[in-house]
Structure 1
Amino acid sequence: MGWGAYALPRPGYPRQQWDELMPLLEAAGVTPVVTSEVPLSDVPAALFAMESRTLLGKTVAVMRD
């Protein structure tokens, strides 16, 4: 998760959020939205898309045989 500048002036905010999220993660109560899969050769382009905030959901790098 990236809270960036929002969390900097709020000491303890990220910890509070993780304290609320961990029980959900441990109970599999959170399902990530995987919107795309990319082969390892396309990871650099996917990282650029992530940095430019053009991705929605999660992109998963897959390894093929």
Structure 2
Amino acid sequence: MVTVPMVLLLGFLSARSVAVGSANPWYAALAKPELTPPDWVFPIAWSILYVLLGVALAMIIH
């Protein structure tokens, strides 16, 4: 299952190429609702999503 690490690496590299979350002044200046999750939730959620995308790609290929 080389697709899962490949998709994770692609997501990691694309995230490193832009300022994300509170490091992005535009995002930090937005008026966010009270139900907005804290910044530490996003890396966990995106990691889970990228693993699932890799599994889905592996299922499509095979």
- TM-score normalised to structure 1 length: 0.28
Larger helix share, 1 or 2: 2
Q: Which is higher, the Rg of structure 1 or of structure 2? A: 1
- Normalising to structure 2: TM-score of the pair? 0.29
